[in-house]
Every structure is written in structure tokens, then in C-alpha cells.
Amino acid sequence: MKNISFIILLGSLYGSVSAEYISQKNLFDFLNTKQFITTQFTQITTLASKERKVKGKLMANRSGKFKIEYFEPIRETISADGKFFYKLDTELEQLDVVPQEDYFDGTPINLFTSSVEDLKESYSVDSCTTTDKIVACIVKPKTEESFLEQLIISFLDKELLSIRYTDSFEQTVDLTFEKSDWTVFNDSDLLLFIPEGIDVVYH
């Protein structure tokens, strides 16, 4: 399976926490008010001074399910249904299926799929600062074995603005979000469409 370290790797709005009140103490509670998210993103991955830029769409909810569609210059879809992880590569004409288990522990997607209890157990918030109405919080994993080294999540007013993180592969990933929608969607929206002729590989 090809390296998937670039995964971001994100409804109803419950509660009344707004970005101006996001702090080191309540960041995870604020994220927990976002039970669903649909958003477009641009991802720039930097490794050894080389950049890779892709665009995509993310849908996720806090039942542990999500779908990430990558567009140009690659055509891949990554999803999870709470039991299995799926990676569809239409160029290779292959669908990889892996038991989900703890596959995404310590990865940024957890910010949008994990319960607030799991977030607090897995991560700590070092600080939150506000500059020109942008709230930026530094998040670090509590275990040394984590995929993440450090993550910075930023908000402008009530909207998710960006995520920047470094990982154990010494990559730096910058994600900028647009057209974020927090309204509820059906699980059927997360289903993969598998074209004819695709080889299915179980791991």
C-alpha cells in the first residue's frame, strides 16, 4: 500500500461556544460542538524542501466515520465506516481494505471523528493565542509513539481556518479549509462508489 502519511489528513452546532472564547481549557469541548463536518480543502505537504499540493473534500462525523476525496493532481478516495478503512485508487484500479481498529489513532482526522473524552485522553493543548481575530491552538499527542509531532489548529470567528502539523516522517502538512458546513448528513453520503474492474485487496 502506498504511503498514506498525507492523510489529514474534518452538523449540527451544539452549545454556544464561539471562536473568540476558544482557550487552552475548552478547545476540545468547542470541537465537540461540531458533530458533523463537510469541507473543501487545499493540502500542501513539504518534505526536504519539496512541495506537493492537492485539493480535496472531507466529510466526517463523531461516530468514527469519514470520507476524503482527493482531486487534482491525484484521484484517490479514503474512507472509514467504523469497522474498515478503504483506499480507492482509480489509477491503479485497486481498492485496499484494512481493519480500522486503531489505524487512525494519533492522526489529525481524529479531531473530527473522536469523542471529546478520547480527544482529552490522547492529546494535550499547550496554548491558544489570538492574533487579528485568528485563534491558533497548539495540540500535542500524549504518547511518544504518535504519528503527530505537533499540530496547530486555527479558527477565524466561528469557522475552521487551517491545520498545520508535522509528523513522524518529518513532513510538514498545511491544510486550508473553505466552504465548511456543519450540518447533519446521512451515512449514505460516506459510501464509496466502486467502478467496475477494480481489484479489491484485503490486508
What whole-number distance in Å separates Cα of residue 147 and Cα of residue 157?
29
DSSP, residue by residue, 9-70:
----B-S---GGG--TTTHHHHHHTB-EEEEEEEEEEEETTEEEEEEEEEEEETTSEEEEEE
**110-159 pLDDT per residue, tens:** 999 999 999 999 999 999 999 998 999 999 999 887 888 899 999 997 78
Q: Is residue 43 in a domain? A: yes
Q: pLDDT tier at 103 (50, 70, 90 boundaries)?
A: low
Question: What CATH number did the domain enclosing 115 receive?
Answer: 2.50.20.10
Q: Is residue 154 in a domain? A: yes
Q: Is residue 53 in a domain? A: yes
Q: Is residue 177 in a domain? A: yes
Q: 122 with 138: CB under 8 angstroms?
A: no
Q: Is residue 7 in a domain? A: no
For residues 79, 80, 85 and 87, what is the CA-based torsion angle, rounded to 10 degrees? -10
Q: What angle do CA 162, 165, 167 make, to 5 degrees?
A: 155
Q: Is residue 3 in a domain? A: no
Domains in the chain, number: 1
pLDDT for residue 86 is more than 60? yes
Global pTM reads 0.84
Query: Does residue 63 or residue 13 have the better pLDDT?
Result: 63
Q: Is residue 12 in a domain? A: no
Give Cα 4 distance to the centre of its chain.
13
Q: Is residue 6 in a domain? A: no
Q: Which residues pair with 81 in a beta bridge?
A: 65
Q: Domain of 110?
A: 19-202
